[in-house]
Structure 1
Amino acid sequence: MDYPSMTNNKPVLALVVLVLIWGYSWIVTKQALFWSAPLDFAALRSIFGGLCLLPVIIWQGGSLQPLYIKSMLWLALLQTVGFLGCSALALAEGAVGRSIVLAYTMPLWAVIFAAWFLGERLYHLQWLALGLASLGLIGIINPWEANFTLASTLFALAAGLWWGISVVVSKRLKLNNTLELLNVTAWQMLLGGILLEVLAYFIPSKPITWNAPFLWALAYAAILTSALGWLLWLYVLQKLSASVTGLSSLAVPVISMALAWLILDEIPTLGEMVGMLLILTSLTILSLAALRYRS
């Protein structure tokens, strides 16, 4: 395993900033839903996030013509409409902590779908991770608890499911450079956001309240979470080892749960806390297994 040196502190700082931005983004989204319907907010953040990436592509000398259209459309459906749409719907009905941990089961779904569709072998550590995650899901879902919300639970699980399938699509997409990656990301966000807005139009919901707090939440989600967050992610992937970035990303749900406790007074039950711990442990095992079997 390659560890970053203390002198190479810019990528480490970028990774810390990224984890904090993404961790707080779930709180921002939850608060934004006071003034907007979930699909409207997911659509707007996606559209504005994609628009923010277009000037970056031009600045880097890239083309704005959409690339890999078939794969890009699949990613727009799975990653933007599926993941972002279901995540917002989950937050509209349920707690941040439960929603983010269930959505972050993505690596577990990705392992299963990669085994089914890509023929990748499941190793002992991965089976262990899946077993622990299954026990964790029982603790989190907990239908006998008084605060159980079926709709939020299903939407959060669906978010992780669609995200996991999008990983399989991404693995089949062979990009030549970072500019192509930015191009596909920008266009799938734009088109996915438009599709979300079309869905939102046909679903009865409350109108958007265009006030300062909502505009701040939208700016945070579009500019910081989507555009800047993606650029920081590309940067740290280029500068730090995959093991460091993969394990560090697990801090995102931990930060979100802590902030939800502090800001939103969301106190998880004992079953939820045990379930969250089991799922985070399983995700850590998956990251370590990926490092071990890749070497």
Structure 2
Amino acid sequence: MKNAWSASAKAKALLVLLGVVWGLNWPAVKVSLGAVSPWTLRTVGLGVAAATLFALALAGGRGWRALHIPAGRDRLHVLLTALLNIAAFNILLTFAQLGAATSRVAIITYSMPLWATLMACVVLRERLDAMRCAGLALGAAGLAVLIAPLAAGGLPSGIQYALAAALTWAAGTVYMKWARIAAPPLAIAAWQLLIGALAALAGLLWFEGMPHPGPLRAAVLCALGYHIFFGMALGYILWFRIIAQLPAGTAALGTLLVPVVGVAAAVLLLGEHPSHADMLGFAFIFGAALCVLLPGRRPASLLPEA
């Protein structure tokens, strides 16, 4: 009993650490984008994350069997969910941070559990209980508070990209739940990240050609290094250690620390000043996500970092 409690306590401590690591990744991405294109950033970041998960799977002693995805429909489902959950989500998110304040992008992006709940109701015929209905109402209020002041002059591109990112993540999550892929979560995530990296590389070569990086400022190098080795590689190592030891509901609920740290870091490190409307919208959306991710619900197995 004592050992089980100790393992759970360690996993919860790692969950707090993950919230900090992924939360700080938001300003790291913003600083990196000051000198590195979105396509390059995602190609490198997703590529390193994929390599990390492949190494973890191979180090488990089962060799390539640990990464096996059954042929046929399961491989097609992995491809499609990767394009939605990983490629589209991450690429849209980088463009969102180019066009809007990091704090506001983080707040809007974390409306994704609400969209997933709504889509699951329509596509999977999941029932909405009182708690989920309250969550949807709070989420709608939060988005209205954030978007209404901007709507008169047309929504900035960054806000549109953030909303699109939240919707693609939700669509991919519901699709993956419907598909029920018969493979270990680590194998699914490793292949998804590799597909995401290849999609970003294709975008890089199509829109920009071969990159020719020039000299980078020390601040950009530090931010880029943090994003690649901490936000992506370490983040996914921590995540898979956590979900192996904690219930999915507890793990998903713990990731709500990410936008809190992300918004605070944007204020402290980037000098952003969220408006009263931003903070009110954040409170609504945070409360809404809390409603739909409470233990006993069935949240997605993978929530994004930035």
What TM bracket, shorter-length normalisation?
A: 0.7 to 0.9
Find the counterpart in structure 1 of residue 39 from structure 2: 39
Q: Report the AA paired with residue 192 of structure 1.
A: G
Q: Say whether the 8 Å CA contact 1:94–1:149 is kept in structure 2.
A: no
Residue 218 of structure 1, CA deviation: 3.6
- Quote the RMSD (CA, aligned, Å): 2.7
The whole-number CA distance in structure 1 between the counterparts of 2:226 and 2:68 is 26
SS at the partner of 1:142?
Answer: helix
Q: 1:219 to 1:146 in 2, by over 3 A?
A: farther
Q: 1:58 to 1:147 in 2, by over 3 A?
A: farther
Residue 190 of structure 1, CA deviation: 1.6
* Equivalent in 159, 175, 197 of residue 201 of structure 2: 197
SS at the partner of 1:193?
Answer: helix
The whole-number CA distance in structure 1 between the counterparts of 2:139 and 2:259 is 15
Q: Say whether the 8 Å CA contact 2:84–2:169 is kept in structure 1.
A: yes
* Equivalent in 142, 164, 168 of residue 158 of structure 1: 164
Residue 6 of structure 1, CA deviation: 6.8
* Equivalent in 265, 268, 271 of residue 259 of structure 1: 265
More off after superposition, 32-41 vs 233-242? 233-242
SS at the partner of 1:70?
Answer: helix
SS at the partner of 1:268?
Answer: coil
Q: 1:209 to 1:94 in 2, by over 3 A?
A: farther
Residue 208 of structure 1, CA deviation: 3.9
Aligned length: 288
Q: Say whether the 8 Å CA contact 1:28–1:221 is kept in structure 2.
A: yes
SS at the partner of 1:35?
Answer: coil
The whole-number CA distance in structure 2 between the counterparts of 1:86 and 1:98 is 15
2:100 is the alignment partner of 1:99: no
Q: Say whether the 8 Å CA contact 1:52–1:223 is kept in structure 2.
A: no
Q: Report the AA paired with residue 62 of structure 1.
A: G
Q: 1:32 to 1:170 in 2, by over 3 A?
A: same
Q: Say whether the 8 Å CA contact 1:86–1:158 is kept in structure 2.
A: yes
More off after superposition, 148-157 vs 238-247? 238-247
Find the counterpart in structure 2 of residue 272 from structure 1: 278
SS at the partner of 1:121?
Answer: coil
Q: Say whether the 8 Å CA contact 1:85–1:196 is kept in structure 2.
A: yes
More off after superposition, 52-61 vs 154-163? 52-61
SS at the partner of 1:63?
Answer: helix
2:173 is the alignment partner of 1:172: no
Residue 122 of structure 1, CA deviation: 1.4
The whole-number CA distance in structure 1 between the counterparts of 2:31 and 2:152 is 23
Where in structure 2 are the equivalents of 1:1-295 lying within 5 Å? 5=5, 8-60=8-60, 61-63=62-64, 67=69, 68-144=74-150, 150-174=156-180, 180-203=184-207, 208-209=213-214, 211=216, 213-288=219-294, 291=296
Q: 1:281 to 1:162 in 2, by over 3 A?
A: same
Unmatched 5+ stretches in structure 1: none
TM-score, normalised on structure 2? 0.84
Q: Report the AA paired with residue 58 of structure 2.
A: I
Unmatched 5+ stretches in structure 2: 300-306
TM-score, normalised on structure 1? 0.87
Q: 1:66 to 1:7 in 2, by over 3 A?
A: closer
Q: 1:88 to 1:185 in 2, by over 3 A?
A: same
SS at the partner of 2:64?
Answer: coil
Moved over 6 A (4+): 145-148
